[in-house]
Amino acid sequence: MPHPFYILDVFADRAYAGNQLAVVTHADDLSSETMQLIAAETNYSETTFVNAVPEADGGYRVRLFTPARELAFAGHPLVGTAWAIRRFMEPDASGPVRLNLQLGQVPVRFEAGETGETLWFRAPEVTLGATCPREAMATALGIDPEDIDPATPVRQAAAGTAAMIVPLRSLSALKRSRLNLEAYAPLLAQGFPPLTYLFTRETHDAASDLCVRFFFEAHGVREDPATGNGAAFLGAYLLEYGRADVDLRIEQGHEVRRPSRVRLRARKVDGTPEIEVGGQTVLTVRGELV
């Protein structure tokens, strides 16, 4: 069976920005081991594998791999994979694209706008966990404790994966932040994850509401240019600390030269958070595995 593949820039409004994603379709006959090898070969933060036809519930089976392991959930792969399915596998269809993941089915809907089509997915339930002392997190990030906004806490959030949400006072503090794994070791020993999602209300672009950075450990510290699940974590965090209705434009990726745009909407319905993350996708490469 031929295996078409596509390289996409997700959470981007132009090529060579946003977060890169490789999508392999018609992947029914690929073993888990082969999928892992392909993901290691692309070496993007995630590669997805899509079966050729929908399952009985109307959803396409999708598996998500980093270069090292399989994931149950991640944000930008949902947006990019749904875009590829609609563009190349069912171009005449309408309505949402349904993705069957390890965590269950996730519909991705399409919304037309003045600047292009935005794809939105409903985030799974986000759990807010333990808080972390500002001083310890500041040490791990190489900044001063005063750089962390005391109005809301440094707190863990999780949905499939987990990360620390860190509110910062300024864009300057965001630019100066660097995750030091040696300094982070005491927090790891306490069970905090080595993933940090930093945000500030100061931005590069006047049209943005927040600027963020996301650090994670993968054979050293790496920085994500655009993070959908991190935005979902932030939505739950903002609802917890006083925001009744969230509709934000988030910028990310400036420090790694891949400027990104992530949309976030969140509200509480009958006391339960409903969180949507959205963004655009640009195709850069198409081909076939040999």
Q: What residue spans define the domains of the chain? A: 3-123+280-289, 127-269
Burial class (CB in 10 A: 0-12, 13-18, 19+), 42: middle
Summarize the confidence of residues 23-29 as an average pLDDT: 97
pLDDT of residue 220: 65
Give the single-character DSSP code of 88. Answer: I
> Checking DSSP bridges between strand 260-269 and strand 161-167, what pairing results, if any?
unpaired
pLDDT above 90 (res 2):
no
Look at residue 177 and give its three-state secondary structure: coil
Residue 62 tokens, joined: 């999708």
pLDDT of residue 219: 62
How is 134-150 classified by DSSP, letter by letter?
HHHHHHHHTS-GGGB-T
Q: Distance between CA 259 and CA 167 in Å, rounded?
A: 20
Architecture of domain 127-269: Roll (3.10)
Residue 153 tokens, joined: 């806490």
Burial class (CB in 10 A: 0-12, 13-18, 19+), 190: exposed
- b/e per residue, 192-223, with b = 16+ CB within 10 A? bbbbbbbbbeebeeeebebbbbbbbeeeeeeb
Summarize the confidence of residues 253-268 as an average pLDDT: 96
Report domain 3-123+280-289's class: alpha beta
Do the domains 3-123+280-289 and 127-269 sit in the same CATH topology, yes or no? yes
The residue among 164, 103, 108, 98 whose CA lies nearest residue 133 is 164
pLDDT above 70 (res 221):
no
Residues annotated as catalytic (active site), given as ranges: 46
Q: Which of the four pLDDT bands, split at 50, 70 and 90, describes residue 290?
A: confident
Residue 116 tokens, joined: 């292009």
Q: Distance between CA 187 and CA 283 in Å, rounded?
A: 39
pLDDT above 90 (res 73):
no
Cα dihedral across residues 227, 277, 197, 185: positive or negative: negative
pLDDT above 70 (res 24):
yes
pLDDT above 70 (res 56):
yes
| Mean of per-residue pLDDT scores for the chain | 95
Say if residues 290 and 277 touch (Cβ distance below 8 Å). no
For residue range 163-220, what is the model confidence (pLDDT) as tens digits? 999 999 999 999 999 999 999 999 999 999 999 999 999 999 999 999 999 998 766 6
